[in-house]
Each structure stands twice: as C-alpha cells, then as structure tokens.
Structure 1
Amino acid sequence: MRPIPTFLLALVAMIAATACAAEPTLLEADTRLARIAWRLTTANAALCRERQPVTGATLHAVDQYPAGAFGDTLPAAAVLVELVLPGTPADRAGLRENDGLLAVAGQPVPVAAAQGGITSTTRNAAQALIAGRPVDAPLPLTIRRGTASSVVTVQPVPGCRVEFEVMAGNKIGASSDGQVIQIGGRLFQLFDDDQVAVVVAHELGHVVLRHRARLEAAGATWGLLSEFGRNGRLFRQAETEADLMGAYLLRNAGYDPRSAITFWRTQGGKVDGGLFRSRTHPSSKARAEAIAAELATMPANAPTPYRPPLLARRDQPLP
C-alpha cells in the first residue's frame, strides 16, 4: 500500500478541524464584532467624514427574531440592549443587557409594527436616533428595567457613522453599502478576532473612502455584468483602495497592519473563493502584495491616528 501523501493528510486535518470548530452563537458573534467595531470606529473617527456618538452598547429589536424567540419572558420594550462592552461609556453609565430603550434624548423609540415578518427596521430607527445626536454631548436614554423606567445619561465618544451586523447562517462574505457593514457569521467560526478585524477594516475602508457614492457617480452597475470591462475595473480599484485603507485603519486601532498581508496570503482563498472568486476582486496574492507595498510607504514615525495620502482619493472620481 502506498503511503498517503503529506498534502492529503494536511488537507484532511484542515477539513476535520473546520468541521469540529464550535459554531458561535449569534450573541457570541455579535459580541466579537462589537469589540472589533468599537476599536476601529473610535480610533479612526478623525478619518471619517461622517461621525456619530458611540456608546459601546449594541441594540436589537423584537421584530428581528421569529415569534416566540424570547420564550415566556416579556421583553421590556420593542428595542433592547443586546450587549454592553466592558469599560465603555454605556458600561460606566450603568446600561445593562436586556434594558428596554424607550426614548433617546426625549424622542420616543419607534414601536415594532405588527406585521409578522422579520425585519431590522425598528432597530435601525432606534440607531438612527442615536446617530443623529451630537458626537460628544451627553446622551440621555430612557430605559425600562423590569417594571421601572429611568433616564441613564451616557457620555459617548465620537466614532465613524456606520452600523455593524452579523449575517446569520453559514455566510462567509462581507459587504458594505456605505451605511451598514455586514459580516458573515461563518467568519467567526473560521477565524480569530485579529483575522476578522482584517475583513471588518476592509469594509470600513469602503465607508471611509466613500466607495458606494463614487461607484454610483462613475456609473457602475451591480449584478451579473459587474465583473466585466470598465465596470469590473472600477470595482477592482475600489476593492484595492479598501484593502490599503483597511491596513491603516487596523494600525490606528492598535492592530498589527501587517496582519492584513498574512491574512490574504494564507486565508484569502477561504473568503474570496480562490480560483472561483468574483473578478470584481483582485486575487488574494495581489491583495497581499499591494498592502505590503503600501505599508512600505508609511513614514517610520507616523503619528496615530495616521491620515494616509490615500485619504485624498475619497473626493476624486474613480478612474
């Protein structure tokens, strides 16, 4: 009998390890994403044209879940505090998980519509009330805890104006429409937080560089024809810019920016599909090489946060 080739043994081991990796709960994935988003958005607030008050609390709403998801427990309100990151303004102010959010600076939070479908509309409306407040002014929140209502005043910090959410299920990709960054739930099963941060920073790079607006202004179209001709070139240019900006965003937030190089060299095929990737994206090898070349241009004594020359491109049309 011939011995099994080493590369096949390694492949089998990798598949087995992936299959046995514990799938995180939605709350665990949300918590990990919230920690990453907190670091990236607050550390890079100076680079973001649009900012919002950031508290360190994550909201969710009852109509984001199927009927009966809360069991026999009656939710305190239509919008609830899902989690509070330790040491953040929300934590210091005394906000707690499952607090019901009734009003933001005196403005009532919308009540979930009795439509029976699963939607993020109510949660998004509550987040918009917070996002519209001054970035560094005290933020009074009317909450209900149990049967008692009170006002908790949070002293937020400025952060980039963008929301984050985990895409439930087995999705491995990520996307941004300029307002919401969605991260596939499977990423949290496959990768550690530093690796997931590379993907999140890339998507935040799209937001910082205003790619959605710039692609629309350039006449780019999404869909089946997005990979071809000028359209494909526009998308690849935007993806490369987001990779480069993402490395700087990581660096500003205290991550090792070279982790982006390592990630795309060693893990990129799991995310972009390898040989079967969309041609709107460069190859993982090209992405790693572009990031390495870009970081080599950063001054050795660059301040933190660093505003790279790349930032000037957000006011220029995509070529």
Structure 2
Amino acid sequence: MPPPDRAGAAIPAADGRARGEQPSWTRVIARDPGVAYHQRVIALPIATAAPMPAPAAGLDAASLEALRAIDLRLATIAHRLVTANAPLCQDQAPATGMVVHAINQYDRDTQPAARQVFGFSAPIAVEGVVPGSAAAAAGVSADDGLLSIGPRALTASTAPPSSVDRDLALSLLEGAASPVRVTVTRGGGEARDIAINAPAGCRSRFEVLLGPAMTAQADGKVVQIGVRFFERYRDDEVAVIVAHELAHNILRHRVRLEAAGVKGGLLGEIGRNASLGQAAELEADQLGVVLLYNAGYDSASAARFWQQRGGDIDGGLFRSRTHPATKRRVAAIDTAAASLTEQQRPVIPPILARRDQPMK
C-alpha cells in the first residue's frame, strides 16, 4: 500500500499487559530512505520504526531482544527478495545482510538497557546479520561496533535521540562499491578491517513498524511492515506482504500516483483517485508474485495467503476503497502464478515497462 508521508519516532513500552497480549512498542525513528528497525537498520539496507507516543519508562532487555529477533526475521525475508530480484530493479545497492542501529536511536530511558543487550562498543553497531549473507561470510557478527565504512570514520552526533547516526551509516553502505569495506570492533577490542563481497540488491529500506495496527506500506524508498504481522503469521506468509510492498517501490507507484494528481486522505477514496489506487494495488499483486517466485518461494502462496488471511487484513489494512476486493485480487494472483510454472529464474515480467509510464 503506498503510504501517506511518514514522520515519527518509537521505543518499546513497559509491560503490564494481559496474557497473550503483545507489548506495544515505540522508539525514535527516521522517516528518510534507509532501513530502520525500531531503530535498527539492515544494510540491505533495512530498518525499523513506528510513530507512537513514547512510554513513560524505557524498554527492558527482554523487549529489546524480542525486537532484535523480529528485525532479523524481516531482514532475512527482505534480503532473499532483494538479491533474487536485483535484475528487475533500476535502483540497486550492495546487499550486505547487516542490520544496523545506533545508540542515539533509542530514547534516553532505554539507552542503558540497549547498552546492556547490544554492547554498543561503538555508537553505531550491527544489530544482527542475515544467515548466509555476504556479511556473515565475511565474519561480521551481531553487536560488532562499526568504526568506519570505506574511508569515512563513524562518530556519534550530539543531536537529541534520533536516527541521524544510523541514517548516515545506511547512506554510506548504500553508496559503497563491492567489496564493501568496514572497520569493526568486537567488545571494544582491537579494530578489524573486513571486506564484504556484497551482491547487488534492489535499493529499498525495510522497517518494522511498531504499534497495534496491521499496517504495511511503501513510499518508493522504504517498506514498512507492522510488528503484528510477525506475531500472527509465519515468515513465508509475511513474505507475501513484503513482496507486495517492495513491488510498489520497484514500480514507482508513489511517484506515478503523485504525477497523476492522486490525493491522499478521504479524497483518495473516491472517483479516479480510488480507481488509480486499485490499479496500483493490482500491479503490485502481479509483480509481487514474480518477486516471490524469483526468490524461491511458492508462487501460489500469495493466493493462499489472501484466501486464508484476507478476512483479517481486508477488515483493516486493505479496507480502503483504494484496494480491490479479496476475490478480485486472488483471481489476478492465481493467473499470474500460473503463468510462472517452470519458467527460468529470474523472470523479468512485462509489467516492469509500466514503471516509467503515467498511471491511467
């Protein structure tokens, strides 16, 4: 779903929840291109975030470890999709497989727990590493402190808690040539130079969106997936949503809809605005199936997901008139999946030609 303009911050809240209820989350986050994860970022890049009011108390260690696990789940799904589909993407960046975060992303009340859990031997650090990625092969480990990226030394900013430091690291990683050269410190020990032979990947950042809503959206640069998806669904099911949102970015839907004069808010729900919004959703469904297929997922999984989970999501995430009905999208997805049977990967679909054309 192409989103409205984003802004925000977040940091997980304290406990005090009923049995079976998941914690609410918040943390400071950037809304620029970059991957942020509840204030970490995967250097696919990838990131996490959530616009919510900050809780009175900071996050505890258990909440931070839970966030790390969710960040790595999204990073792993995203890494698989962006590397397998790099030939489909006009904009590319090295896909290192690192999830990056900075101590200054965390609310001041949370920073002591963040230092306890993540070490932060440097102000900018590696939250996690996607298994089997280039970073993993090069020997990068979770909690390594990042001292430099290429020739650029990384230092902490003096700004209030924000994603500025993380965003700088992401920009440097995105603009680097492979092998990506980084200097790390482990546990505050001796500096170590590492060369990461990162493959090309589609240039998008991925964020875990904290909060109770079943939200997924893409703005052309960043894909945001609500934390509730990870609580309710298996990773192969979450991959359907991630692929759909990545498809919006690849097809440049936000730029094309804005060029067509489509308005957001209530005005986006009527007339031509709604019609073009539905067209964008159907395009993303069609390309999303191809992205899944190229990445080795079952191409029929998207139709199954909408058949089995559509009622949950159509009641919230896709309730807007800008989204086609579940039956219609399942039929279109089935048709797209059937056309992929036994095709050689990667499939380069004709729909990509539309990304430079006006929405109509």
Aligning the two structures, in what range does the TM-score lie when normalised by the shorter sequence?
0.7 to 0.9
In the alignment, is residue 46 of structure 1 matched against residue 91 of structure 2? no
Change (3 A) 1:217 1:114: same
The one-letter amino acid paired with 1:64 is Q
Question: What is the one-letter code of the residue matched to 1:33?
Answer: L
SS state of the match for residue 224, structure 1? helix
Q: Which amino acid aligns with 1:195?
A: E
Give how far 1:147 is off: 3.6
1:181 equivalent in alignment to 2:237: no
Q: How far did residue 113 of structure 1 move?
A: 3.5
Return the offset for 1:274: 6.1
Supply the distance in 1 between the matched residues of 2:312 and 2:207 (Cα, whole angstroms).
21
| Structure 2 unaligned spans of 5+ | 1-18, 24-62
- Rounded to whole Å, the distance in 2 between the matches of 1:276 and 1:79 is 37
Counterpart Cα distance in 1 of 2:338 and 2:149: 45
| Structure 2 residue identity aligned to 1:55 | T
Q: Which runs of 5+ in 1 are unaligned?
A: 1-18
Deviations 1:30-60 (A, max 9, x none): 1110110011000000001100001111101
2:338 is matched with which residue?
A: 296
CA displacement, residues 210-240 of structure 1 (integer Å, 9 cap, x when unaligned): 1111111111122221111111111111111
C-alpha distance in 2 between matches for 1:179 and 1:147: 36
Q: Report how far residue 159 of structure 1 moved.
A: 0.4
CA-CA distance at 1:262 after TM superposition: 0.7
Question: Quick one: percent identity of the two aligned structures?
Answer: 46
Distance 1:121 1:271 in 2: 33
Return closer, same or farther for 1:174/1:112 CA change in 2, 3 Å cut-off.
farther
Q: Please tell me whether residue 234 in structure 1 is matched to residue 276 in structure 2.
A: yes
The separation in 1 between residues aligned to 2:278 and 2:231, in whole angstroms, is: 27
SS of residue matched to 2:344: coil
Aligned to 1:9: none
Tell me the residue number matched to 1:191: 233
- In structure 2, which of residues 159, 164, 180 is the aligned counterpart of residue 114 of structure 1? 159
Secondary structure of the 2:345 match is coil
The answer (yes or no) to whether the contact 1:51–1:161 under 8 Å persists in 2 is yes
- Farther off after superposition, 272-281 or 139-148: 272-281
Residue equivalent to 1:5: none
The one-letter amino acid of 1:59's match is V
Name the residue aligned to 2:124. 79
SS of the aligned residue for 1:159 comes to strand
Greater shift, 44-53 or 95-104, is seen at 95-104
Q: Deviations over 1:125-182 (max 9, x none)?
A: 2111110123xx2111022221422211111111000111101222311111111111
Spell out structure 1 runs of 4+ moving beyond 6 A.
Answer: 21-24
Compared with structure 1, are the counterparts of its residues 229 and 166 closer, same or farther at alpha carbon in structure 2 (3 Å cutoff)?
A: same
Equivalent position of 2:68 in the other structure: 27
Taking the aligned partners of 1:57 and 1:87, their CA distance within structure 2 comes to 11
Match of 1:315 in 2: 356
* 1:244 maps to 2:277: no
* Equivalent residues, number: 296
Pairing 1:95–2:140 present: yes
Q: TM-score, normalised by structure 1?
A: 0.87
Structure 1 residue 21, shift from structure 2 partner: 8.1
**What amino acid is the match of 2:266?**
L
Alignment deviations for residues 239-268 of structure 1 (CA, whole Å, 9 cap, x no partner)? 110011001100000001111001111102
Give me the whole-angstrom Cα distance separating, in 2, the residues matched to 1:154 and 1:176. Answer: 28
Matches of 2:220 and 2:21 in 1, distance apart?
32
Partners of 2:318 and 2:281 in 1: CA distance = 17
Report the Cα distance in structure 2 between the residues aligned to 1:164 and 1:157, rounded to whole angstroms: 17
What's the CA shift string for 1:67-109, capped at 9, x where partnerless? Answer: 2434364622221100012222111111111111122111133
SS at 2:220's partner residue? coil
Counterpart secondary structure, 2:192: strand
Match of 1:270 among 302, 312, 324: 312
Shift of 1:64: 2.1
What is the rounded CA distance, in whole Å, between the counterparts of 1:113 and 1:241 in structure 2? 44
Report the counterpart of residue 141 of structure 1 in structure 2.
Answer: 182
Q: Is the 8 A contact 1:37 1:164 kept in 2?
A: yes
Task: Give matches, 1:144-163, under 5 Å.
Answer: 144-145=185-186, 146-163=188-205
Cα RMSD of the aligned pairs, angstroms, is 2.0
Q: What is the match of residue 123 of structure 1?
A: 166
CA distance in 2, matches of 1:140, 1:275: 40
Question: 1:222 maps to what in 2?
Answer: 264
User: 1:191, CA displacement in angstroms?
Assistant: 0.3
Superposed displacement of residue 22, structure 1: 7.1
Matched-pair contact (CA < 8 Å) for 2:95–2:201: yes
One-letter code of the match for 2:234?
A: D
Matched, 1:104 2:146: no
Query: Looking at CA atoms only, which structure, 1 or 2, has the larger radius of gyration?
Result: 1
3-state secondary structure, aligned to 1:186: helix
